[in-house]
Structure formats: structure tokens, C-alpha cells
Amino acid sequence: MQSDATLRQFVEITHLDVDQATQVLQSCNWDLETAVGLHLAGTEGDTDYGRGGRDTTTPSSGGGVGVSSPSGGAAGAGRPVPRAFGRGQEGGGGGGDDPEGDADGEGGDGQRRPLLRTDSVASTSSTSSLSRISSAVGLLGRAVLGVARTVAWVGSGILSFFSAVVLGPPGVPSESFDEFFEARYGRPRPDFFRGGLREALATARREEKVIFVYCHSDASAQTERFCRDVLKHDAVVALLNENFLVIGLDTSRLEGARTLSALRGRRCPFVALVMPPMGSSMEGSQTLHRLEGQIGVDQLVAVLTVAVGDMESLRHQVRVQSEETQRSRLLREEQDAEYLEALERDRQMQMARDNEEAERRAEEARKREAERERDRRRAEKEDKKRRLEESRAARSVEVRRILEEDDRRISSGESAAKILIRLPTGGRFERKFRADAPLSLLFDWIECRHLIEGGGGAWVAPGSFELKQTFPLRAFQKSESTLSELQLAPSSALLLHPLEAEDDAESEAAS
């Protein structure tokens, strides 16, 4: 039945229990749109639904405290009021249990009446006790009724969730709303977005468009006219398809009902222009315009035109912001590149300084090593010279003895050879040797001459040397050949050529 479908849709949208939903729909003659608007108005203002609504405690017309009846009147206007409401309160019967306090109390009709006194105190006490008991029972009943309504609301929510998730809600899903609209109303039509509202927000943000949200309800009497005369109008279709992202939502489905409630819509057809977050901003979307109920073509075209202008202004702001962001990014990149270049230059300079320092240290190390090598060679030379002097000193005694013996033999008439030695420094000295004396004696005499002949200024022979004859050109090394055999007798002039200096020069060149 149509009423069962309407009741099920109303329960899914409002989450009321079946009894409350039935009362509200009956009060609205089973008009779903009117019932939803009434429910939303009652939820926001916390007011009564009116006829057939929930019971609320309100002051009665007679001045007492009554409970509103289904017809809107006050039931029990003359009910005794508990003493907790205080003396002098307006109340039905006005009496109380104080025999002296309310002598001139007012009745339920507002007229002043004399206090009715009784002779029986027990009767007055019984009336007061019954009033207290009645009030307590009323409070307890209202508390139980509130708990029952809460349990019913939770149960209806669970039932609605189960039916929406497991069984699938009735109505047209947003993914196929374009097919539904074209099948029912034909073309031309807006190009409805195939997807949910969340996907539409993401797409609109990416394409920089305003979202045209249309909430559809077959229960509304205005829906047919709006779809055929307004949404299919050529001007409206051109504006929507060119400038907006259009999404259609059926309010009989959970997503449509929630969207209608979130956009504060009260009746269908309902239209809202929603601006998604733009640029780098992550703030929420913004609702620009809302239209509902009887919407005309001129009214909708005017709203859409204003929204297009707002969107162009927003796009300009977004482009300016994007350009500023791009400039800032490029500036940061340039600064970062300059910083990296400065770091690279500093690194290169530091490497150059490190290399120079390493070369300097290596050069100092080479110099120290060369100095140590020279010291070593100098020490070796000194040691060699010392050992040579010791050796010459030891030989000089024997050489002196041999030379003294040769002098005596030459004096006795043996043949002699007179040898002249020229020094590299230009000095000279000479001596007579026996003609049959070996050449080694001549070398020993030259080496030990400063020890044999003495004198602080005596010339000292180098460690190694050779003797050269200019004519004929010959060089002589230390040997046992006699002077006569070498044709140096009876006289010869020889040039002393040191060999130790050449050895030292070669060693220094090698180092």
C-alpha cells in the first residue's frame, strides 16, 4: 500500500518509532513532505507536533497544571496541585492542606472562593496525601514514557541501518539518477554526476566548479512541475552543464535524506549551490544559495548567474593564490639552489684548503726526511772520516819508518825518483822515493803526510783520490808496481785528483 511505503520512508528519514511516525503522518494527511518539514521544525524548535503529537506538560487555561490531550485541550484542569508548587500559586481548587494559609484562594475558574473548612482533619490529610501520590505517579509515568521513546528511537535507528545496509534502501541511487531522470522526463536534461556527494566534492574541487545539489522526492506535489518545466528548460540546462557539477539525490534514500537535513532543507524540490574547498585550502565546503518548494525558471536562472559570477571571482582568487604560491615555490627553489651552490663552493674551498694543507704537510715531511737523510749521510761521512783518520794514524808510524829507511838508502847512493804532487787548490809538495819503491808507498805518504810532517796548517788528503800524469796522459791508482816500472823515475809531476767529492755530489743528486 502507498501508506506503508510512505510510513517506511518517513521512519528511515526521521528515525521515529512506528507509532509516532503514524501519528505525524495522520496529522499531515499522509503527506511525506509536510510530515518531514513538521518533524524538522519540531526537532529544531523542540515544539509539539500538534494533533496526535507527544504529550507535554503545559499550563492549562484555568491556571492549573494539565496534560494536553490529543485535541489540544487541557485535561484535568481542576486537579489538586501538590504543595511543592508553593502557596499563592494559581491552581485548580486552590486549597492545600494549610487551614489558615489559603483562606481566599482562587478556584479553577479564576473566581475567589471562601475556604471550605471541614471538621474532620483526617479528611484534609487524606486529600493532601492523594495529591502527592497522584503527582508522583504522573512523574513516574512520564519518566517511563521517556525511556520507552528512547528505546523505540534506538530500535528504529538499528532497523533503518539494517534495512539500508543489508536490504538496500528504496529510491534512486545517485550513480544512476541521470538514467532515472531521462527515462521519466526525457531530454534535454542536466548532466548528472555519476557518483556520491563525496566524490562530487572531490571532482568539483579538481575542476573548480560549483556543485548543484538537487534533492528529489516523488512524494512532493511540486516535483513533477519543477523537473519538467524548470530543470528541462534550455537556459537552465545550458547554465548547469557549462558551469556546474550537477548531482541528483533521492530523499527516499539515506544519503539524500541526510544531505537534505545537512543543508537545512525542509521540503522538496530542494536545490543548493555548494562551493567545494578550492586551491590549497583544506577548509570545508560552503553553501552559497538554497531554494526549495515552488522554484521558477527566472528565479533559478538568476541564482545560477550570480553563482557563476561568484565562481569566476573565486577562480580569479585561486589563480592569484596559485601564482603567488608558484612564485613563492620558485623563490624557495632559487634560494635553495643558491644555498646549495654556496655550500658546494664552501666545500670546494675547504677541499682546496685541505689539499694545500696536505701538500704542505707532505712537503714538510719530505724536507724532514731529506734533512734526516743528510744528517745520516753527514754522520756516515764523519764516521767514515773518523775511521779513515784512525786507519791513517795507525799506518803513519809504519810509513814514517819506511820513508826514513828509504832516505838512508838514497843517501847511501841508491837510485831515487823525485815526485812532484800538484794539489787541486794550487799547492804543491815533493819528495824523493827509491826508484824501486812501490806506488802504494807514494799513496800512503800522501795520505799520512799531515801526520808525518805535522803542522796545524798541513793539507789533509781526501779519503779517495787518484794521480794523473799530463804527458803522457795517464791515471794511476794505488798499486804495488814500482815507480821505475811505471816510468816515474828519475822524476815526474803528478796531479792529485780527489774522487770523494764526486761520490758526495752523486749522493746529493740522488737524494
pLDDT tens sequence across 370-382:
999 999 999 998 8
Is the domain defined by 174-295 classed in CATH 3.40.30.10?
Answer: yes
**pLDDT band at residue 308 using 50, 70 and 90 as cut-offs:** confident
Q: How far apart are the first and last CA of the chain?
A: 119
The mean pLDDT of 437-449, rounded to a whole number, is: 92
Give the C-alpha distances (Å, rounded to integers) separating 457 from 390, 443, 454.
19, 20, 8
Give me the sheet containing 491-498, strands edge to edge: 428-434, 416-422, 491-498, 465-469, 474-476
The mean pLDDT of 317-342, rounded to a whole number, is: 88
Residue, of 174 and 284, whose pLDDT is higher: 174
What percent of the chain shows pLDDT beyond 70? 70
Tell me, what's the pLDDT at 372? Answer: 93
Query: What digits encode the pLDDT tens for the residues 28-73?
Result: 888 887 787 777 655 544 433 333 333 333 333 333 333 333 333 3
Tell me, what's the pLDDT at 434? Answer: 93
Query: Could you give the dihedral angle defined by the CA atoms of residues 247, 251, 254 and 256, in that order, rounded to the nearest 10 degrees?
Result: 30
Query: Can you tell me whether residue 475 is helix, strand or coil?
Result: strand
Residue, of 316 and 450, whose pLDDT is higher: 450
**pLDDT band at residue 475 using 50, 70 and 90 as cut-offs:** very high
What percent of the chain shows pLDDT beyond 90? 37
Global pTM? 0.37
Each domain of the chain, given as residue ranges in start order, spans 2-167, 174-295, 406-510
Placement of cell 500500500 in the chain? 1
CA dist., res. 57 & res. 53, Å (int): 12
122 has pLDDT over 50: no
The mean pLDDT of 149-165, rounded to a whole number, is: 54
Query: What digits encode the pLDDT tens for the residues 266-275?
Result: 899 999 999 8
Residue, of 230 and 506, whose pLDDT is higher: 230
Q: Kindly report the backbone phi and psi dihedral angles of residue 306, in degrees, each rounded to the nearest multiple of 5, phi listed first.
A: -60, -40
Of 43-47, 136-140, 384-388, 464-468, the poorest mean pLDDT is in 43-47
The third-level CATH classification (topology) of the domain covering 406-510 is Ubiquitin-like (UB roll) (3.10.20)
Tell me, what's the pLDDT at 124? Answer: 47
Query: Can you tell me whether residue 438 is helix, strand or coil?
Result: strand
Return mean pLDDT, the chain: 77
Tell me, what's the pLDDT at 201? Answer: 86
Contact 213, 247 (CB under 8 A): yes
**For 431-436, which contacts have Cβ atoms below 8 Å and span 24 or more sequence positions?**
431/403, 432/407, 433/406, 433/483, 434/406, 434/409, 434/410, 434/483, 435/482, 435/483, 435/484, 435/489, 435/490, 436/482, 436/483, 436/484
Tell me, what's the pLDDT at 42? Answer: 59
Tell me, what's the pLDDT at 459? Answer: 83
Amino acid identity of residue 56, one-letter, is T
Tell me, what's the pLDDT at 137? Answer: 66
**pLDDT band at residue 84 using 50, 70 and 90 as cut-offs:** very low
